[in-house]
């Protein structure tokens, strides 16, 4: 997992057994403890944050495509 401050080029990396929600939150926590709270956060939107399941009827009615359902925390 890697975080980069686009303004300063500061980078922080965290190695673990996989890119899970827990690892992402640990990386963010470590960043905050070391550098402070970021002004904004965005991700590269790779498959890590999406599910392969079909969208629920509620998600379909809200206009969310099935491959764009954010997995987030359980």
- Note whether 56 and 24 are same-domain residues: no
Question: Which pLDDT tens digit goes with each residue over 15-35?
Answer: 988 778 888 889 999 999 999
Whole-prediction pTM: 0.60
Q: Which residues contact 19 (CB under 8 A, 6 or more apart)?
A: 1, 48
Number of structural domains (the chain) is 2
Alpha-carbon dihedral 49, 53, 57, 60, rounded to 10 degrees: 50
Q: Please give the residue range of the domain that contains residue 69.
A: 48-74
Alpha-carbon dihedral 59, 65, 71, 74, rounded to 10 degrees: 20
- Note whether 20 and 54 are same-domain residues: no
- Note whether 8 and 28 are same-domain residues: yes
- Note whether 32 and 2 are same-domain residues: yes
Q: What is the DSSP annotation of 19-45?
A: --HHHHHHHHHHHHHHH---S------
Specify the pLDDT at position 40: 86
């Amino acid at each position: 997992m890697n975080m980069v401050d686009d303004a300063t080029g500061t980078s922080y990396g965290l190695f673990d057994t996989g890119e899970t929600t827990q690892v992402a939150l640990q990386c963010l926590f470590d960043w905050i403890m070391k550098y402070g709270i970021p002004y904004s956060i965005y991700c590269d939107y790779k498959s890590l944050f999406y599910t392969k399941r079909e969208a629920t009827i509620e998600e379909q009615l809200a206009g969310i495509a099935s491959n764009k359902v954010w997995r987030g925390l359980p």
